[in-house]
Structure 1
């Protein structure tokens, strides 16, 4: 997960969400008909300045046709019934109405009164949520909500709280929608609470927007969507063919949008042996990728370019992970991926992966298929992030029995979600993770404003150093040892101007190397803020470095082990 300023090439953003869903459908090793499993993850939350910079969230990838089972998951309530609490209007344009026998929070803001916040709010005791990942869920509908000046305003469903006494205020939520909805729509976000959380304020309404929004108060709830107790395949040990078990370590980079011959030449000079090749567009956008014929036309063109690059890479002995960054259906307004909720796009996801496997399965430079980049599922869904990857993997195996397949966890593949991740009951599966923690350090000052955060140091009220990175990655290490799983760190980084970025990158890699994990740095010749060939103090003054940057020297040190 990364983000870049407005106007820069698309790259990741932030606010992660929880992962989960209940399984049902045809029996298989992964999905036995007598067993239902649910998966859940943690959320991450950040200070408002980060939300302002990183409001857009995560995208996904695609693969092939099978009959998709329906599935459903419900929240297990935690804490007080939110629908029964007294809600205080703020801003002068909010009231409670009864609609079809249900209590509805209504905010109706005139066009000339958009500025400011117009919502209902309630202080919550967060102690019942301590140490848990909590999903906040509500149904809403809106009419003619104006586009706000900032993308993180508009429709607001948000919690304001401090994770601990010394931590800065944070504002997790599902925000930013505007316009009109077609009837009632779900809205959800997740928060993983520390054991030190005390109180917070939950808000529902509009900020810096006019128009009408309604929240179905009777649907408002907080609870657990999935938990570690719901995992399946608990004792499964992954087996790998000898060529994967004994191959040389993979150390490399995330690709630019289009890979040029000169890029491959440079990477060979750096001793890179792996490229995670992203097939992406419309990063962070909502409501794109819905025209599947147009989507296929775009993707086919991207795959044509990828095949050329893979052919050219033969002389450099560089392997490729095919990373389908942009999924059919894109994202819905709540930043969930559309394909988790609509069968048309779930089917197409699987079909696309069938096509990719047929096209690339015999290419000598192919290393692995990366099914879905940073899956994000923040509410119950019929085609959940885990099962959809499972079905895509099974479809690929019908075509290509040999190439490794990569599975990602929810909430943008955060390490904190691994306690809730189940392994597939399949062999030659590689499990992937992304490392951008703490995000307020790795993505700091993306638009140039705000104080600097230094690594190592106190970040978000906690001491961050190599041992804190190790602690953050421990759930992934536990999963590796429990299931004999190969781990691949598909992305990690710290922005070019982050003080101590080279130390952060070095500490991450030292741990990856200690644990035997393959890795690719984000990113090579994509957005300059992530480039180790650029330097600057903010996005506006980035420029090519005249000599090797400290970050580049760290990468070259470890790439030299590929010789």
Structure 2
């Protein structure tokens, strides 16, 4: 009878959370779990018992969330939770499910240990075609200490679902007649005359020009007056740079807003998704940019957001905010292409959730760095060196248990191709690359460019004379060994692609 009472109390408070239809959950409690007041689920694990999973689990029906992006959140606090060997363990709040191919998925929170007061924990999942039972889990894994969850705060949000309305993208005769553009992403610094001369000799006809600072930093760009002064200086320089690049070297530009008002949070989400004053400034900024460059022939397009990462419910979601800016731009500049970014850093995986915008000359941007274990191998290590027993990740080859080759890359990009064919949309690959020392990097770039060309996508490589690890004029086996290498095989692959700009 006592066990049944516990189950009933959990069900009751899930209903009070406002999602009774989704969170009518029956929790199976482990011996380390204790339910208090019918809503506070507490776990206490002694140091000698920390190994393994100490969790409560509840079956969750994912059937109505197929092919959707969903979010789970709950309030929790912890005391003296030991640091686990893996970042995905420690405090545990996780979903487990399988897809139609039998592949297991475990989306959940990461890097939660130590002591912290009540705060919201959340994670998202890109759900494909779930099969069988799915389970939510709460507790501790491979950690000792105490953690407490408030079951009354448990929330489930369906963030994005596949659009269902019929739609056909609209393009002006000029944009429709423009052949695919091929180019480079600019460095963070200002381009020089030597840079332009080099780009021209390579047959580059497009530069994605970054407005960037404080990359990868958290809590920056909060002062809007200071941010505004910096943006204005950058736009002043762009006017001169665009004139030189276009009139003397025949290069056109995408204005790429790489740094945003309000900056990013620790989870890489943008503050302007959640804080109205930054959202409003973002729209006003694009109105100002449009007024300034609407008659500038050097500007090919307005790149509204670089790599949005919306992983939870937001007052100003990433697509609605872009739509608002695009609508305001269209009142000022009626025809210049506006480039819309996909969620999760322009991931191909999110294109099936991208709702097209019903305005003239809207182009949709994807970034391609998959598989990340290949393209970014050891980039974040201190020296970039292989550790004893570590082997480099090779392309083409077997990566994370799957064979990666051009066929696999096409499969990864299929959601983008499907979006293109479904809506008649123009696609722009704003970034793609592989780190200098990745074995097979040249073949990886060649295979991607072949796909882009087959699908008639515009593209720009990341990046021209920026960080050494992406620079095709440099080579090396780790961070300290990178040196100038003017004729790398990666550069030769790009030059092959750029030659098509001459036709």
TM superposition score normalised by structure 2:
0.80
Residue-by-residue CA offset, 1:155-185 (whole Å, 9 max, x unaligned): 9566497989x99998754445899999754
Q: Give the aligned partner of residue 350 of structure 2.
A: 417
TM-fit CA distance, 1:151? 12
Contact 2:256–2:302 under 8 Å retained in 1: yes
Out of 245, 267, 292, which is 1:359 matched to?
A: 292
Q: How many correspondences in the alignment?
A: 473
Q: Give the aligned partner of residue 270 of structure 1.
A: 202
Q: Give the aligned partner of residue 272 of structure 2.
A: 339
Contact 2:27–2:58 under 8 Å retained in 1: no
Task: Report the Cα distance in structure 2 between the residues aligned to 1:311 and 1:117, rounded to whole angstroms.
Answer: 63
Residue-by-residue CA offset, 1:60-102 (whole Å, 9 max, x unaligned): xxxxxxxxxxxxxx98977x8568343675xxxx97655xx74
Q: How does 1:46-445 map to 2 (within 5 A)?
A: 84-86=27-29, 102-103=39-40, 105=42, 121-122=55-56, 132-133=67-68, 135-140=70-75, 159=94, 172-176=107-111, 184-185=119-120, 187-192=122-127, 202=137, 215-221=149-155, 224-228=158-162, 231=163, 234-261=165-192, 262-314=194-246, 315-445=248-378
Contact 1:75–1:224 under 8 Å retained in 2: no
Cα distance change on mapping 1:427 and 1:87 into 2, 3 Å: farther
Contact 1:123–1:199 under 8 Å retained in 2: no
Cα distance change on mapping 1:178 and 1:456 into 2, 3 Å: same
Cα distance change on mapping 1:128 and 1:300 into 2, 3 Å: same
TM-fit CA distance, 1:220? 3.1
Residue-by-residue CA offset, 1:98-147 (whole Å, 9 max, x unaligned): 5xx742557899xxx9xx9999645677995796556342233669999x
Moved more, 392-401 or 536-545: 536-545
Contact 1:490–1:520 under 8 Å retained in 2: yes
TM superposition score normalised by structure 1:
0.72
TM-fit CA distance, 1:551? 0.8
TM-fit CA distance, 1:331? 2.3
Long gaps (5+) in structure 1: 1-73
Task: Report the Cα distance in structure 1 between the residues aligned to 2:122 and 2:435, rounded to whole angstroms.
Answer: 31
Task: Report the Cα distance in structure 2 between the residues aligned to 1:560 and 1:235, rounded to whole angstroms.
Answer: 38
Q: Give the aligned partner of residue 400 of structure 2.
A: 460
> What is the SS of the residue equivalent to 1:187?
strand
Long gaps (5+) in structure 2: 1-17
Moved more, 170-179 or 290-299: 170-179
TM-fit CA distance, 1:542? 2.1
Cα distance change on mapping 1:460 and 1:401 into 2, 3 Å: same
Q: Name the structure, 1 or 2, with higher relative contact order (CA <8 Å, separation 6+).
A: 1
Moved more, 519-528 or 332-341: 332-341
TM-fit CA distance, 1:322? 0.7
Task: Report the Cα distance in structure 2 between the residues aligned to 1:247 and 1:401, rounded to whole angstroms.
Answer: 17
Q: Give the aligned partner of residue 65 of structure 1.
A: none
Superposition CA RMSD, Å: 4.0
Task: Report the Cα distance in structure 2 between the residues aligned to 1:88 and 1:509, rounded to whole angstroms.
Answer: 55
Contact 1:319–1:367 under 8 Å retained in 2: yes
Out of 468, 475, 498, which is 1:559 matched to?
A: 498
Task: Report the Cα distance in structure 2 between the residues aligned to 1:531 and 1:194, rounded to whole angstroms.
Answer: 39
> What is the SS of the residue equivalent to 2:444?
helix
